[in-house]
């Protein structure tokens, strides 16, 4: 058990060569586009919280929140990148109330999309399971009609596997 947990720790801490290269590229791009990086750091706060708090295996909730959050921030990010690449301009752009409301509301819409889709899919799966159960019950009734009540598994059987029915039992005299 201790061996498995130490292996899990090693896997989590190891990001690999691709992860290291990606991290270096992100840091260099952040230094080149400092205004956009500062803007995104503040604008994508709901995404960071979603990634940290989402403990599911597939992390679908964090994907929907991140993509919708970025979609809300993108027009303002484009303005920061094309107009003025300074940190002051980025902080001025993110400090506008309408900007913050649009960006964070889009992250909330991502959460609502995830909530709705999960509910719809769960409902569809329940309906499919009920339909399958009804099909099985109908098939069971058909088999009971064709082969008798012995196929249901509800009758008591003797040691040879033949059904024991009260009217078939003969009293020895």
What is the pLDDT tens value at each position of the chain, 173 positions in all?
555 555 555 555 577 888 889 889 888 888 888 888 899 999 999 999 998 998 888 888 999 999 999 999 999 999 998 988 888 999 999 999 999 999 999 999 999 999 999 999 999 999 999 999 999 999 988 988 888 777 777 777 778 877 776 555 555 54
> Quick one: tokens of 50?
């979603």
List of residues 6+ apart from 64 with CB closer than 8 A: 110, 111, 113, 114, 117
Cβ count within 10 A of residue 87: 15
Instruction: Convert the pLDDT of each residue in 89-125 to its tens digit.
Output: 999 999 999 999 999 999 999 999 999 999 999 999 9
| DSSP for 11-45, written as a single string | HHH--HHHHHHHHHHHHHHHHHTHHHHHHHHHHTH
State the alpha helices, DSSP H only, in the chain: 2-13, 16-32, 34-43, 45-53, 60-83, 87-94, 97-147
- Give me the half-sphere count of Cα atoms (radius 13 Å) on the Cβ side of residue 164: 8
């Amino acid at each position: 058990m201790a061996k498995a947990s130490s292996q899990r720790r090693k896997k989590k801490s190891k990001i690999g060569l691709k992860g290291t290269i990606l991290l270096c590229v992100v840091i260099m791009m952040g230094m080149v586009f400092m205004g956009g990086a500062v803007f995104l750091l503040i604008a994508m706060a709901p995404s960071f919280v979603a990634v940290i708090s989402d403990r599911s295996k597939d992390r679908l909730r964090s994907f929907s929140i991140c993509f919708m959050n970025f979609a809300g921030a993108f027009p303002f990010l484009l303005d920061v990148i094309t107009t003025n690449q300074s940190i002051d301009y980025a902080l001025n752009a993110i400090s506008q109330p309408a900007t913050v409301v649009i960006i964070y509301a889009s992250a909330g819409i991502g959460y609502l999309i995830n909530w709705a889709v999960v509910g719809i899919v769960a409902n569809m799966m329940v309906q499919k399971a009920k339909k399958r159960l009804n099909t099985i019950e109908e098939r069971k009734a058909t088999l009971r009609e064709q082969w008798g009540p012995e196929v249901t598994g509800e009758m008591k059987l003797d040691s040879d596997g033949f059904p024991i029915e009260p009217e078939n039992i003969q009293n020895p005299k």
